[in-house]
């Protein structure tokens, strides 16, 4: 889409309390996108290369109040290494990651760690880069909530 991603539109629908069922149709085989879609309770996730074959099954599943994710993306996810090595993060970055998982803002993180909110922003950016996440607005928050067991 030219201006917003499907995830961003989904987030806006949730934020604005728009009751609709969302299906992502994408070329992207990405663990991050998959995890974001799952976290946002997206109803369908179809890979474009299989869209014609899967759209009917997807719509039928959604009509029966079930989610539908392309078998190919599910297979791809099962082959992905689920353990991410957070030892590459500094002790401060790990503290910030814990606070992010608790929904703390940059200002709250800064106040709690006696650093400026801009320093907290920079740490967030470094964490996103080190973990290989997309630089979307909530990608780190979603990742932190889904992977709390790695750093708590």
Contacts within 8 Å (CB) and 24+ apart, 85-88: 86/131, 86/150, 86/151, 88/130
Q: pLDDT tens digits for 97-133?
A: 999 999 999 999 999 999 999 999 999 999 988 887 8
Q: Which pLDDT value is given to residue 121?
A: 94
Across the chain, mean pLDDT equals 88
CATH 1.10.10.10 fits 86-150, yes or no: yes
Least confident of 19-28, 64-73, 78-87: 78-87
Q: Which pLDDT value is given to residue 81?
A: 54
Would you kindly state where each structural domain of the chain is located, as residue ranges? 6-79, 86-150
Q: Is it the case that residue 152 has pLDDT exceeding 90?
A: no
In degrees and rounded to multiples of 5, residue 55 shows phi and psi of -60, -40
Length of the chain: 152
Element (H, E) at 45: strand 44-47
pLDDT band at 83; cut points 50, 70, 90:
low
When the candidates are 3.40.50.2000, 3.40.50.2300, 3.20.20.330, 3.40.35.10, the CATH number that belongs to 6-79 is: 3.40.50.2300
Q: Which residue has the higher pLDDT, 30 or 51?
A: 51
**Which 3 state secondary structure label does DSSP give 23?**
strand
């Amino acid at each position: 889409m030219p201006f917003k991603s499907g995830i961003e539109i989904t987030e806006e629908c949730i934020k604005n309390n728009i009751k609709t069922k969302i299906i992502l149709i994408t070329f992207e085989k990405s663990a991050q996108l998959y995890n974001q879609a799952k976290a946002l309770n997206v109803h369908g996730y179809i890979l474009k290369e299989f869209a014609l074959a899967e759209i009917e099954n997807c719509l039928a599943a959604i009509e029966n109040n079930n989610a539908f994710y392309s078998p190919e993306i599910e297979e791809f996810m099962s082959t992905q290494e689920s353990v991410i090595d957070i030892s590459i993060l500094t002790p401060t970055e790990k503290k910030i990651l814990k606070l992010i998982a608790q929904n703390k803002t940059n200002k709250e993180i800064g106040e709690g760690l006696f650093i400026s909110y801009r320093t907290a922003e920079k740490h967030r950016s470094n964490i996103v880069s080190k973990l290989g996440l997309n630089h979307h607005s909530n990608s780190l928050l979603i990742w932190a909530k889904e992977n709390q067991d790695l750093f708590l």
